[in-house]
Structure 1
Amino acid sequence: MTNSLVSEIESGASLLLRELLACLPLGIAITDRDGQILQVNGAFSALTGYQAHEVTGKHLEFIASPRLPNPDAAPGAESWGQRRDGSLFPRHQVLHPVNGQDGALAHQIAVISDLTKHKQDESHIERLAYYDELTGLPNRQFLLQQLAGVIEREQRENTTCAVLLIDLDRFKTFNDSLGHSAGDVILKEAARRIESAIRRSDTVSRQGGDEFIAVLSQLHGPEDAAIVANNILAAMAKPIPVGQHQLTITPSIGISLFPHDANTPESLIRCADTAMYHAKEQGRNNFQYYTPVLNHRVQERMSLETALRGALLNGEFSLHFQPQIALDNGMITGAEALLRWRRSNGSWMPPDQFIPVAEDCGLIVPLGQWVLEEACRQRRQWNELGLPAFPIAVNCSALQFRQPAFKDQVVDTIAAHGLGPQHIELEITESVLMASPECAQSVLGELKALGIQVAMDDFGTGYSSLAYLKQFPVDRLKIDAAFIRGLDQDATSRAIVQSIISLGRSLGLSLVAEGVETQDMRLLLNQLGCDYAQGYGICHPLPAAQFEAWVRDLSSR
């Protein structure tokens, strides 16, 4: 082979090497055996900010960070590099030795990787694993690890810690009615307020949904947990602005104590959860400590919730009907549909025991739709049998009323059974209407325009103002039985009933008295100007067949 041919081959190999270095995405530096840089590629310059002529002849480690030295790092370990502008970057550097023809070290090739994005990805993955993306708070996984460490320390130091489980009252109602974006606003603001109400040394996390947990360490006694719980209640008392609404979101808080109640993270959380349900039973917007008795009650409630779901699927519910009569002539003018539950074992479950559970677990929505369907079916059957065409009144829960499709569901259900709007009346409590007056006014206006009558139920027990009452397009007021009960003996009750009747008259509304038990009450209510009445003194709620017989008997008199 001629010298010129050898030179040509060597020249081609050199060109090929330069092209290879130029296209590699990793930083490459070729050094002599002592680490002095001879050549670098474009990726090296892009990574470090140094051009080739600025680094040639310098030792490779001049780009190592002097502020974050890592002298003990093994070859190929991660370390910090420093760019020309002084900024630091995480790097992974591997040195490949190149031996000469004599077998001795002649050169080194350094391959440098920028780990910045890798570290960012690691950090993001870790954050997803241990933090709630919406609120930025630690999640359950993080909380369990933190709580385990707190318990271990409290055991060593013989001190106390507390777990506070915080549940936002009626959050599902607001989330379903106003949309998930509104729910997100509520959750983020609740997280901020709860975090501001605890000590900096404590931890608050979001468990998912509308539940938060605070871990309070190194307490002097149970009363310290009460102080923090009261701080949280106070922080949540101010309305939260959500779009055009000012929403008051109250918390129910359950408290468990280590080592008094339990000694593991999971069991402490379970105890706090049990206490939280007790707080809800006590009217919400309060805190309760765990006691062993509560655990039994919660187990009963969970069993009841499971049985409720099965009851709807298995057809264990039925409607009973209680008539409403005109006080001036005693004729039937309507009937209220009342939900009844006969369990599979034949026992009857009182409505005041299962209705609140259905509301808490959200089952009240499908249950309420079932009641409307059944009331419409029964009204259609009575039409075909020739009974008087009085309306059937159906109670609507807060959660049901706030469903975006509520109005359409009512209209479609009535039409599906071949009925007119005059055949069904909706009963809604004043507290439901006042929870979101503007929204209620809009929905009631649409129902009114369609000819569906609405009664304000249990009037006098809520907190509606006269200004709002005048704006609500309702057709009648139902005077709560609590005021009727002592009507013939108590001057105060009589004065309240007289005031409600006068108010209704001034607003052009008809009046229905609930809980009428005696003939004397009927006569007195008629004298006071009340239009209609219902109660045990007229007729108990009856199954459909017995109610039909009662109506026919009344009509034949």
Structure 2
Amino acid sequence: MNEPMHPNPEILRNSVLKLYFDAQGAELIRLRCEFLLQHNIWYQRQQEILRDNQVLSVALLHASAINSSTVAQLDQLTHDSQCDTLTQTLNRSIMLDRIEQAISLSKRKQRTFALLFIDLNNFKPINDQYGHAAGDAILQQVSSRLQHAIRDSDAVSRHGGDEFLLLLNDVNHPQDAGLFAGKLEQLLAEPYHLATGEVSLSASIGIAQFPADADTAMALINHADAAMYRVKQKGGASAR
């Protein structure tokens, strides 16, 4: 009867060590593969994030440009809805609101203000002789002079063909409005430049003061209008 063979201890130990190192190697390979896989996933995710960020940046720039354009268009529409197209002064309805606001503020703070009604003298012959384009050019120059002559708190509007209203806020003394109107008369009497040469005009200015002359917007306009016609008939200086 054959006796059982006993494994050689040295061979057995070597086999165990080989299996152990093989297992360790396999684990290292597994960990390495897992690391590379995770690193690849992370890299791909980073690339996706970068692409997404680039797309978002482009979208934000585009949206910002659209927003800026929209705001500019809204500002322009607001301006156009409030201003006279030719002279870029306030239109009649907006000026009426400004006068009513001035009345409310003046009542609350116990202040006074003046409303000037400005009419260009002998304006029709300019249109007849030089054409309406020349008349429009003069109206634009008149509005520019008026707007440069006032403060930010004041306002100018085109009331009619060659008529303007000027709201002069915070008038400290009754004579101040008359002094200012006298300076306007001189300013508006300076020559106007046209393509065909220079022309000269004068202006008649009527003044209404709140609350001495009237206490509503329309009443102030009517008072200043009547005062302007008295000035025009007399051919004199501006008056209330």
Same structural fold, with TM-score higher than 0.5 when normalized by the shorter chain: yes
Aligned-residue offset at 1:176: 2.1
Asked if 1:257 is matched to 2:233, the reply is no
| Kept after mapping to 2: 8 A contact 1:189/1:240 | yes
Q: 2:197 aligns with which of 238, 245, 259?
A: 245
Q: 1:185 aligns with which of 137, 145, 158?
A: 137
In the alignment, residue 127 of structure 1 is paired with which amino acid?
A: H
Q: Which residue of 1 aligns with 2:238?
A: 287
| Distance in 2 of aligned mates of 1:266 and 1:171 | 25
How far does the alpha carbon of each residue in 1:200-259 deviate from its partner, in whole angstroms, 9 at most, with x for none? 331112223111111011111211101210111111122112233321110100100111
Structure-2-length-normalised TM-score: 0.72
In the alignment, residue 186 of structure 1 is paired with which amino acid?
A: I
The 3-state SS of whatever aligns with 2:151 is coil
The 3-state SS of whatever aligns with 1:199 is coil
| Kept after mapping to 2: 8 A contact 1:197/1:228 | no
Moved more, 130-139 or 270-279: 130-139
Aligned-residue offset at 1:279: 0.9
Asked if 1:197 is matched to 2:149, the reply is yes
Alignment of 1:367-446 (within 5 A): none
Aligned-residue offset at 1:273: 0.8
- Structure 1's 184 and 54: CA in aligned 2 closer, same or farther, altered over 3 A? farther
How far does the alpha carbon of each residue in 1:138-168 deviate from its partner, in whole angstroms, 9 at most, with x for none? 2212211111111111001111011001011
- Structure 1's 58 and 261: CA in aligned 2 closer, same or farther, altered over 3 A? same
* Larger-gyration structure (1/2): 2
Alignment of 1:523-534 (within 5 A): none
Aligned-residue offset at 1:115: 4.7
Which has a greater percent of helix? 2
Q: Which residue of 2 aligns with 1:83?
A: 61
Q: Which residue of 1 aligns with 2:51?
A: 56
The 3-state SS of whatever aligns with 2:169 is strand
| Distance in 2 of aligned mates of 1:223 and 1:55 | 71
How far does the alpha carbon of each residue in 1:58-96 deviate from its partner, in whole angstroms, 9 at most, with x for none? 499x659xxxxxxxxxxxxxxxx8418xx933xxxxxxx
Q: 1:212 aligns with which of 160, 164, 185?
A: 164
How far does the alpha carbon of each residue in 1:254-299 deviate from its partner, in whole angstroms, 9 at most, with x for none? 1001111111212111111111111111116x3110xxxxxxxxxx
| Distance in 2 of aligned mates of 1:55 and 1:277 | 74
Please list every run of 5 or more consecutive structure 2 residues that lacks an aligned counterpart in the other structure. 1-44
How far does the alpha carbon of each residue in 1:512-552 deviate from its partner, in whole angstroms, 9 at most, with x for none? xxxxxxxxxxxxxxxxxxxxxxxxxxxxxxxxxxxxxxxxx
| Distance in 2 of aligned mates of 1:221 and 1:164 | 15
Aligned-residue offset at 1:177: 2.0
The 3-state SS of whatever aligns with 2:190 is coil
Aligned-residue offset at 1:116: 5.0
| Kept after mapping to 2: 8 A contact 1:129/1:141 | no
Which has a greater percent of strand? 1
| Kept after mapping to 2: 8 A contact 1:229/1:287 | yes
Moved more, 148-157 or 119-128: 119-128
| Kept after mapping to 2: 8 A contact 1:253/1:276 | yes
How far does the alpha carbon of each residue in 1:387-432 deviate from its partner, in whole angstroms, 9 at most, with x for none? xxxxxxxxxxxxxxxxxxxxxxxxxxxxxxxxxxxxxxxxxxxxxx
How far does the alpha carbon of each residue in 1:321-368 deviate from its partner, in whole angstroms, 9 at most, with x for none? xxxxxxxxxxxxxxxxxxxxxxxxxxxxxxxxxxxxxxxxxxxxxxxx
| Distance in 1 of aligned mates of 2:177 and 2:91 | 21
In the alignment, residue 196 of structure 2 is paired with which amino acid?
A: Q
| Distance in 2 of aligned mates of 1:197 and 1:118 | 33
| Kept after mapping to 1: 8 A contact 2:208/2:221 | yes
Q: Which residue of 2 aligns with 1:145?
A: 97
Aligned-residue offset at 1:117: 4.9
| Distance in 2 of aligned mates of 1:208 and 1:174 | 16
In the alignment, residue 221 of structure 2 is paired with which amino acid?
A: I
| Kept after mapping to 2: 8 A contact 1:197/1:231 | no
| Distance in 2 of aligned mates of 1:224 and 1:82 | 54
In the alignment, residue 288 of structure 1 is paired with which amino acid?
A: A
Q: Which residue of 1 aligns with 2:78?
A: 126
| Kept after mapping to 2: 8 A contact 1:240/1:248 | yes
| Distance in 1 of aligned mates of 2:123 and 2:71 | 38
- Structure 1's 55 and 135: CA in aligned 2 closer, same or farther, altered over 3 A? farther
In the alignment, residue 118 of structure 2 is paired with which amino acid?
A: I
Structure-1-length-normalised TM-score: 0.33
Q: 2:177 aligns with which of 198, 217, 225?
A: 225
Please list every run of 5 or more consecutive structure 1 residues that lacks an aligned counterpart in the other structure. 1-37, 39-52, 65-80, 90-113, 290-557
Greater relative CO, 1 or 2 (CA 8 Å, sep 6+):
2
